Amino acid sequence: MAAAAGAWLRGCAKLRRHMPAHLAPWRVCPRVFRSSKSELRPNLASDGLVCAPLQMFTEEEAMLKDMVAKFAQERVAPFVQKMDENAKMEDSIVQGLFEQGLMSIELGEEYGGTGASFFSIILAVEELAKVDPAVSLVCELQNTLTNKLFTTYGTEEQKRTYLPRVSKDTLGSFCLSEAGSGSDAFSLKTRAEKKGDYYIINGSKMWISLAEDAGVFFVMANTDPSLGYRGITCFIVDRNTEGLHVGKKEDKLGIRACSTCPVTFDNVKVPESSILGQVGQGYKYAIGMLNTGRIGIAAQMLGLAQGCFDRTVPYTKERVQFGKSIFDFQGMQHQIAQVATQLEAARLLTYNAARLAEAGRPAIKEASMAKFFTAEVATLTTSKCIEWMGGVGFTRNYPIEKYYRDCKIGTIYEGTSNIQLSTIAKFLAQEY
């Protein structure tokens, strides 16, 4: 017995010697999830910096939030059902977005913008999505893609030419996806062949948002296929350019008022000056813009879920069954409380990613987390709201089913949920 016990103890000791250090009992892991690290800010008081709660806004941000909420209720809400049924955006709403400065929130005043913060864009998108996620998408894409591309990579001449237009009355459209390049976006087949001081673009794009009404397109095309994705270049193409054709818009499940169309390029001739940034750098620009755009989509999904929740909970307090409101049943209260908690978590993830991006800090992982999680929460929230509403939630007489249809795209565009998870995992591998 003693010999057997001794052999067992020696075996345990040998096992411990070969055990990975991070599995040693009672030992603190030497690595830590980066987002859980706090950072010291020396001279906080002297620098005038204040670490405020994420849901505390500046006076300008609070004013913009209230203004957008009023605009959404007064100018958007009356047309939501009609726009969804007709799959057509009301012209007066787009015009109103421009008039209110909501299509140029971050642009400088010299270009006709309001000069507000990036976080203000997120608040505007969230408020609009509470009433109609399709309208919020128009605002989101114009601010996080069109305007950002011009301000970040445009030449001074391109800025002077296009920024006053996109802040006043011109929609932009980002042409990346193709029939054979969705998540594998950089396997695109659209080509741009150099001919002297101009390029000839040939190819086709699919799932292009705002294409039906856009006045300017950002076209990703490969100028040197032998270089693979390093040949991808971004071109600015005006709508009236010969050879550019916008196809019939898709008949979609949700976000119906916002057009999604195929766009083809048949020997489209553009000058060399139409290149945005540098030749062969288009893939970097696309990645950078989509990382920022994902925070915008997170705001859209957050607003969508909150709007649906806000319309449903009052109904549960009014609907009486078995002598009391259905809200008063503990089973209902627990479900509602759980969804409310998920919404709050989604909001904090989104606001944190937005504040990081606004401060110029790395936020790729946080943006992916926010987009992934808000899309999941929107799916849960809208599904639960239909259940809580019962039969009326299943009809088109109430907007709940529209929120349910609208939310599905959140797991697909600007990077599918699986792409977000892969991005998050890549950063975790580096951190640990």
Distance, CA of 158 to CA of 405 (rounded, Å)? 38
Q: Which residue has the tokens 């993830």?
A: 349
The per-residue pLDDT for 106 is 97
Chain centroid, CA 420 distance in Å: 11
Q: What is the pLDDT of residue 24?
A: 47
Q: Residue 44's pLDDT is what?
A: 46
414 is catalytic: yes
Give the integer Cα–Cα distance in Å for 182 and 140. Answer: 21
From first to last of the 432 residues of the chain, give the pLDDT tens digit: 566 666 655 655 555 555 555 454 555 555 555 555 555 545 544 455 557 789 899 999 999 999 999 999 999 999 999 999 999 999 999 999 999 999 999 999 999 999 999 999 999 999 999 999 999 999 999 999 999 999 999 999 999 999 999 999 999 999 999 999 999 988 999 999 999 999 999 999 999 999 999 999 999 999 999 999 999 999 999 999 999 999 999 999 999 999 999 999 999 999 999 999 999 999 999 999 999 999 999 999 999 999 999 999 999 999 999 999 999 999 999 999 999 999 999 999 999 999 999 999 999 999 999 999 999 999 999 999 999 999 999 999 999 999 999 999 999 999 999 999 999 999 999 999
Query: For position 185, what pLDDT does the model report?
Result: 87
Q: Which residues pair with 196 in a beta bridge?
A: none
The residues pairing with 209 across neighbouring beta strands, listed in sequence order, are: 260
> What is the structure's pLDDT at 32?
52
Specify the pLDDT at position 410: 98
Distances, alpha carbon 145 to alpha carbons 137, 175, 286, 292, in Å = 11, 11, 9, 8
264 three-state secondary structure = strand
Which of 85, 401, 414, 431 is catalytic? The answer is 414
